[in-house]
Amino acid sequence: DIDAAGIERQIAALRIQLQDHAVLTRSRAAYDAIFLLNAFLDAAHDAVSSHGGWIAGMTGGGIIAVFGRDGELAAACRAAVAASAVMDVALDRLNERFAAELGGPVKAAMGLACGPAYIGRIGAGPAKPLTAVGVAIDVASDLAAQAERRGTQLLADPTIFRHAGVDASSCEVLALSEGAASQDVFAVSQARG
């Protein structure tokens, strides 16, 4: 029972982060900053939920999503990759709304990884939301942070593409040497491709 003790699963994790969210929100009135963040987070939620994922955690400018809580890893990986493509397309709609006002496009930085995770209710006091922790979560988060630093949309652990059956021959391969994702990864400029 997940509620009582938690479970271990092989999952796919997708981190979606609003690039430069601190800069984008710092120069705006509170209402405008919250409106922009909510629009971005709603788009991320819709992309994830449309492919059977769920939000395992949220920070100011992003979410961590989990796929495969109840299924097999290959299907979870396919769903996470598809959700990243949906998020890429959703950025077009966000930019129709906000790009002129912001003086540039709304961009996402995403990280994709798969592997083991513990799923359970974690928290302090009475609030213990269902969440996930583990290597896959850490790697996806680290990849999204590195994608933002490098100005690319998506960094993916090659394992997730292999399980998803994605042909990555057109992807750029980057050698990372820092953080939880110290390995070769695929860099994708547009997830919809």
The predicted model gives 7-21 an average pLDDT of: 92
Write a three-state SS string for 9-56: EEEEEEEEEECCHHHHHHCCCHHHHHHHHHHHHHHHHHHHHCCCCEEE
Local confidence band at 182 (pLDDT 50, 70, 90 cut-offs): low
- Residues 67 and 104: their CA atoms lie apart, in Å, by 32
pLDDT exceeds 60 at position 3 = no
Strand partners, 65: 14, 55
Q: What is the structure's pLDDT at 116?
A: 93
The DSSP 8-state label assigned to residue 179 in this structure reads: G
Q: How many CB atoms lie within 10 A of CB 120?
A: 18
The top-scoring range by mean pLDDT among 3-17, 46-60, 95-109, 173-187 is 46-60
The predicted model gives 19-35 an average pLDDT of: 80
User: Would you state the structure tokens that stand for residue 85, as one six-digit string?
Assistant: 């493509």
pLDDT exceeds 80 at position 124 = yes
3-state helix, strand, coil in the chain (%, to 5): 45, 30, 25
- Residues 175 and 143: their CA atoms lie apart, in Å, by 12
Strand partners, 10: 116
